[in-house]
Structure 1
Amino acid sequence: MQSSIFARSGETISRLGFGGMGLNGIFGQQDDAAMIRSLVYALENGINFIDTARVYGRSEELIGKALKEWRGEKPFIATKAAASAPPHSLPGAGFHFPLDVQSTYPPGSIRASVEQSLQAMDIETLDLLQLHVYWPQWDAVDYWMEELLRLKEEGKVRYLGVSLPDHRHDHAISLVRAGVIDSVQTIVNIFDSVALDCLVPICQENQVAVIARVILDEGGLTGFLKEDTAIPESDYRYNYFDCQPRSVYLDKVNRLCQYIPQYASSLTELAIKFVLKDPGVTVAISSMQVLEYAAENIAACDKEALPDELFELIKIRERWIRHFYHARRHL
């Protein structure tokens, strides 16, 4: 398993992390026991970074159960404070930008979220607490940062970070340069690699960790999606893939097959190798809610890295930003 140093801490973490969003059942009905087995398997095979959120349903509870089964060293656990406006609301559901900090994180709400997360996972300290959404205008308001710093002083939280909404990769640059946060979480994948150009280098300069999410584009970069693939309305991806004609998405994915098998054995492997190619990405998180997903993702980390020239070519040629959060489902 590849490893990296988390920010200025000197602590070593795996470059592939376990994403807890999939434990919420948003990808359809899931088996709790199977998800716990997958997480324990990931820990047994070198993953020591877990990312979740208070708003991910039962994700934190399942992580807590998995930790009780795990007999090794405690992994690095990151979660996100619950926002009053759910960060993953679907288009048209009442979640609008820009966000007001007083309504998104009212005074006392961050502390309440932390206490709930600690109880759910049955742990005493969160290694990393992230705001689930962040807006640059919040820099002018002090109380939310003061609340974060108090939690850190009390030992409930060790490090602080922000998770950026959708494709707004530049929104945390002021915080990064000010040295007040330890990490930034943002979208990075073959289709959306803008952060590698505008955010990651600045984070490297300031020793701020970069947590890459949506690295498989909600499963689209695994090749699972076909023209006739039925996605139930209860599945988060029901809206995600069909905010434009599905044929458009499939054409983009099929273009990637030109790099297989010469540079990767599968789309999944290609997608993971692409994100990990940039040394500025500290950790890439992936939902591995079943054991076979975990095994495939972990195996990809041990494969030969993409050639430099190919990485740059893919970054330019395959870039395609859809702004899902602002799109309407295609009719």
Structure 2
Amino acid sequence: MNYRKLGRTGIEVSEVGYGAWGIAGDAWLGAKDEESLKALNRAVDLGLNFIDTALAYGEGHSERLVGKVVAERDEDIYVATKVPPKNLRWPAPAGLHPDEVFPGDYVRGCTEESLKNLGVEALDVQQFHVWQDEWLGEGDWQEAVEDLKREGKIRSFGVSINDHQPANALKLIESGIVDTVQVIHNVFEQSPEDELFPACQEHGVGVIVRVPFDEGALTGNITPETEFDEGDFRNHYFRDDRKREVQERVRAIVSELGASEDEIAEIALRYILSHPAVSTVIPGMRSVRNVERNMRVGDGRGLPEDQVRLLKNHRWVRDFYA
């Protein structure tokens, strides 16, 4: 496993981290705690040392599973979690005052709850689960963050940027307040490369990449015949004719690269890790098989430059969440 600096935090994290939304059991259906714990432990066996979770994932269930693994392992494992928006609106709409979303006392209360769920004395990274750049300099959230840092309850502060809005954190990055950002970036969603990544490199901000497989599209497993359990959010994400559309785009990628559909997941991760601004990528991994497949990619090699150039042609501007 290769390790990279998480911006200016002083932490070195595994290139492949663990996205713990899928093990919460509430949006991605079908997760079994026993299998999730096996997957988490196998990832640590293979050198993973960074796990991203959130208080909102299964109302703390994901955090509690992560905390169980952290408590039982001797290795240094860095944990990032998130404060959910108080108004429970994802992504954050424009025009709200931050006191409606992240009032200081609420930020403190959520942090205390996450510390209890995880069974740790300090959070390596505490993040806001949504963000609007217009909140900079408004409300008392910054004072709460500074107090939590001073008290030793959080070591670093970050934000999870609104879906498909990478430029909506540029002012925050330039302010020096934020240590990390989490953003959607993949073969289809390349827009963070335009402004966000250069700003992060300039200001020493760590980059955590989420949704590397476009919610499964870039694994090659989504076909027109794919079915999800009732209540699984992917029924909405891949609604209408979208399954056919993503399958055609995946086939076009592997055809151009002279690869097979079985290789698309590795290609997708390596594309992300080929950018020097990226600190770690956090695929969701609910099975030991997927852990072993994904962890092999964290070898510091990325993709050959000619393949990266070819993949630039597959940028796809759209928002399936909307």
Q: Is the 8 A contact 2:16 2:281 kept in 1?
A: yes
**Which of 60, 63, 66 is residue 63 of structure 2 equivalent to?**
60
Q: 2:5–2:11: 8 Å Cα contact kept in structure 1?
A: yes
Contact 2:250–2:261, Cα closer than 8 Å, also in 1: no
- Of 289, 292, 295, the residue aligned with 1:295 is 292
Pairwise CA distance, 1:313 = 2.5
- 1:295-314 to structure 2, matched below 5 A, reads 295-302=292-299, 304-314=301-311
Q: Equivalent pairs: percent with the same residue?
A: 34
- Alpha-carbon distance between aligned partners in 1 of 2:82 and 2:320, rounded to the nearest angstrom: 21
Under a length normalisation based on structure 2, what TM-score does the superposition of the two structures give? 0.93
Structure 2 residues not aligned, in runs of 5+: none
Deviation at 1:145, TM superposition (A): 0.7
Which residues in structure 2 correspond to 1:232-243 (within 5 Å)? 232-242=229-239
Asked if 1 retains the 8 angstrom alpha-carbon contact of 2:51 and 2:80, the reply is yes
Q: Is the 8 A contact 2:4 2:13 kept in 1?
A: yes
- Give the superposed CA RMSD: 1.9
Aligned equivalent of 2:85: 83
Counterpart Cα distance in 2 of 1:103 and 1:44: 42
Aligned mates of 1:153, 1:180 — CA distance in 2: 14
Q: Which residue of the partner structure matches residue 325 of structure 1?
A: 321
Cα distance, 1:87 vs structure 2? 5.1
The one-character-per-residue Cα deviations of 1:101-129 (angstroms, maximum 9, x if unpaired) are 22212341111110110000111100001
Question: Are 1:18 and 2:21 an aligned pair?
Answer: no
CA change 1:8–1:302 in 2 (3 A) is closer
**Aligned length, in residue pairs:** 319
Query: Which of 142, 163, 167 lines up with 2:164 in the alignment?
Result: 167
> Which residue type is aligned with residue 105 of structure 1?
F
Taking a change above 3 Å as real, the CA distance of residues 182 and 243 of structure 1, as seen in their structure-2 partners, is farther
Alignment of 1:1-331 (within 5 A): 1-25=1-25, 26-57=27-58, 58-70=61-73, 72-86=74-88, 88=90, 96-242=93-239, 245-259=242-256, 262=259, 266-302=263-299, 304-315=301-312, 317-326=313-322
TM-score by length of 1: 0.91
Distance 1:218 1:233 in 2: 17
Give CA-to-partner distance per residue, 1:20-64, whole Å, 9 cap, x none.
Answer: 111112221211011011111111111101101110011001111
3-state DSSP class of the match of 2:22? Answer: helix
- 1:55–1:86 CA contact under 8 A, matched in 2: no
Gap runs ≥5 in structure 1: 90-94, 327-331
Distance 1:170 1:244 in 2: 29
1:265 deviation in Å? 5.8
**What SS does the corresponding residue of 2:28 show, helix, strand or coil?**
coil
Amino acid at match of 1:86: L
- Alpha-carbon distance between aligned partners in 2 of 1:73 and 1:259, rounded to the nearest angstrom: 41
Deviation at residue 311 of structure 1 after TM alignment: 0.6
Taking the aligned partners of 1:69 and 1:128, their CA distance within structure 2 comes to 20
